[in-house]
Amino acid sequence: MTSEGLSSSDLQVKRAQSEKPPKGSVIMSGARSTGRYHIGNYFGAIKNWLELQKEYFGFYGVMDWHAMTSSYKTPHDVQHFARDNYAELIAWGLDPEKNVVFIQSRVPEHVELYTFFSMITPLGWLERVPTWKDAEQEAKDNDTHNLGRLGYPALQAADIAIYRATHVPIGHDQVSHLELSREIVRRFNFLYGGSIPEPRPIFTETPTLLGSDGRKMSKSYGNTFYLTQEEDELKQNLRKMPTDPARVRRTDPGEPTKCPVYSYHKLFSKPEDLPWVEEGCRTAGIGCGDCKGKLGENINALVAKPREKKKELLQHADTLDSIIADGCRRARKHARETMEQIKEWTGFLSGSGEF
């Protein structure tokens, strides 16, 4: 452990490469329930989870405690979106039988292990986390400068460790987060003779997506493209998207690489559509409305089935509730086993005393 407490000699996450996890690896990942999932969530996380489940067993969480760090004033919304997000994951094909899909707050062992981790995590480690330093003034301005937000990395480490996960899919900008989780786990093992796995990264490409106003997509900007939005809503959002400013008139040629709409074509459209977009834009052979229309068709083709599946799940509450309950029950089984081992290592044995 270095004097800064945020790196180690055997930590390989700083390398811009990723090893394929060996067979038998356990994956853990999750996303906050601060709102409806948007296409950034799909390309940044969900799409990768769907690929990982083909080879690996995984724990995938709807992280409502993490959502509360910034949305504590609207807990009912957090819970509403937790259910909505869960239905979304199942609708897109995350298999609740191949994996364990859970809602964080329904597995209280997350918070129990977080309590242990919070006791052994030096304050300096948390204060040096880039996302805390970079957003601290913003947190003060919007009244989210709280203990939960500062301690977020310790809870994140507990989320991983409670399932003894061996690998975590991350973007390259999340290296410091996973590095801190490894340090917390390593310190716990050193102090108490534990054997919690130090989670390793699975690097994933997470494209930066522009919103309907041309800025970076963000729920706070209100410029998101929700994953399973209705076709009419999708068309309306696409119409608002800015294009190459050089195309003032229909007859003006443009440059697709300067157009946010083209960046979406590269994600959603078939390879054979891209030359049509590129040539048509540069020669003014197509208008921006034609380009957006083709994009809308391609996006809708991808989301149509999940959109209907999600509607079906939300309309049949008993079925969805049963799937959620089973996923959380299975998650708790694994989490309880870990906590029993944690208590044995630390001496906090169940039933060791009464008030």
When computed from its CA atoms, the radius of gyration of the chain, rounded to whole angstroms, is: 22
**52 in a structural domain:** yes
Mean pLDDT for all residues in the chain: 89
Residues, the chain: 355
**Residues 163, 59 within the same domain:** yes
Could you tell me which of 129, 97, 118, 151 has the C-alpha nearest to residue 4? 129
Q: How confident is the model at residue 351 (pLDDT cuts 50, 70, 90)?
A: low
Q: What is the CATH number of the domain that holds 299?
A: 1.10.240.10
Please tell me whether residues 247 and 171 are part of one structural domain.
no
Beta bridge partners of 63: 32
Q: What is the pLDDT of residue 15?
A: 45
| Residues 321, 307 share a domain | no
Same domain, 75 and 196: yes
Residue 65 is predicted with a pLDDT of 97
Q: Which residues of 39-57 are buried (b: 16+ CB within 10 A; e: fewer)?
A: bbbbbbbbbbbeebbeebe
Residues 309 and 326 in one domain: no
Q: Which domain holds residue 74?
A: 27-132+145-209+317-346
Averaged over 168-194, what is the pLDDT? Answer: 93
Q: Check residue 212 and give its pLDDT.
A: 74
| pLDDT reported for residue 354 | 55
Helix 175-192 / helix 109-120 crossing angle, nearest 10 deg: 80
Is position 9 within any domain?
Answer: no
Beta bridge partners of 170: 203
SS3 303: helix
Residue tagged 């801190």 (tokens): 180
CATH number, residue 154: 3.40.50.620
Is 214 among the domain residues? no
- Say if 292 falls within a structural domain: yes
The answer to whether 306 and 91 are in contact (CB under 8 A) is yes
What kind and span of H or E run contains 77?
A: helix 75-91
Q: Is-contact 165 59, C-beta < 8 A?
A: yes
Query: CA 14 to CA 287: how far, in whole Å?
Result: 44
Query: What 8-state DSSP symbol labels residue 69?
Result: H
Shared-domain flag, residues 98 and 35: yes
115 and 257 co-located in one domain: no
6 pLDDT more than 60: no
pLDDT in tens, 36-65: 998 889 988 999 999 999 999 999 999 999
Q: In the prediction, which pLDDT does 4 show?
A: 40
Q: Are residues 235 and 262 in the same domain?
A: yes
Question: Is there a domain that residue 153 lies in?
Answer: yes
Q: Domain check: are 89 and 237 in the same one?
A: no
Q: Give me the number of domains the chain comprises.
A: 2
Regarding whether 305 and 328 lie in a shared domain, the answer is no
Tokens representing 188 are 């716990």
